[in-house]
Structure 1
Amino acid sequence: MTDWVAILKEQSATGDQMGREVPQMLANPDISEAQVKTLFSALEKQAEFVEKLRMALEKFGHDFSIIKAAERLEER
């Protein structure tokens, strides 16, 4: 059985890390267009995965607080 809550915690940690690192990367004046495109692609993949995770949590009837945490992560 899939541990959706553990996956949510892992994705939240990844989101926190990205929230710290992305602004630093974008503030670097030497960042290339290719790096920005790669970064954007990674952020899009993360967002798509979190959306699917939120839908799975809803489907399997997890508590409202768990679903709200997934929604907050998805909004980030």
Structure 2
Amino acid sequence: MTDWLDILKGQRLEGEQTRRAVEQMLAEPAIDREQVMALFAALEKQAGFVEKLVRVLDEAGYEPDVVASAERLECLYAELAERAAVKAKEMQ
């Protein structure tokens, strides 16, 4: 059987690495709006994927801790997408 908690833990670690990379990218003075918009699109896509995963896990009756772990991952990517959106708006 798939150990979703282990998978989600690994994804959370990757998400934290992504957080650090996004913070560095958004702080880069040479970044342009097109790059920020591409970053935003990628983060939105990831957040959407994890949102679907949350729904599937919940509907399949997985344990609440598995669903909660997926929800935390979704929130991470949604937060990062929001940061990119704010940066893009600032650059208009």
With the shorter chain as reference, the TM-score category is 0.7 to 0.9
Cα pair 1:54 1:70 within 8 Å, conserved: yes
Aligned residues: 75
Moved more, 9-18 or 57-66: 9-18
Question: 1:71 maps to which residue?
Answer: 71
Gaps of 5+ in 2: 77-92
Cα separation, 2, equivalents of 1:50 and 1:14: 13
Residue 14 of structure 2 corresponds to which residue in structure 1? Answer: 14
How many percent identity over aligned positions?
Answer: 49
- Give how far 1:50 is off: 0.5
Runs of 5+ consecutive residues of structure 1 not aligned to the other structure: none
- Calculate the TM-score normalised by the size of structure 1: 0.84
Q: TM-score, normalised by structure 2?
A: 0.71
| CA RMSD, Structure 1 to Structure 2 (Å) | 1.8
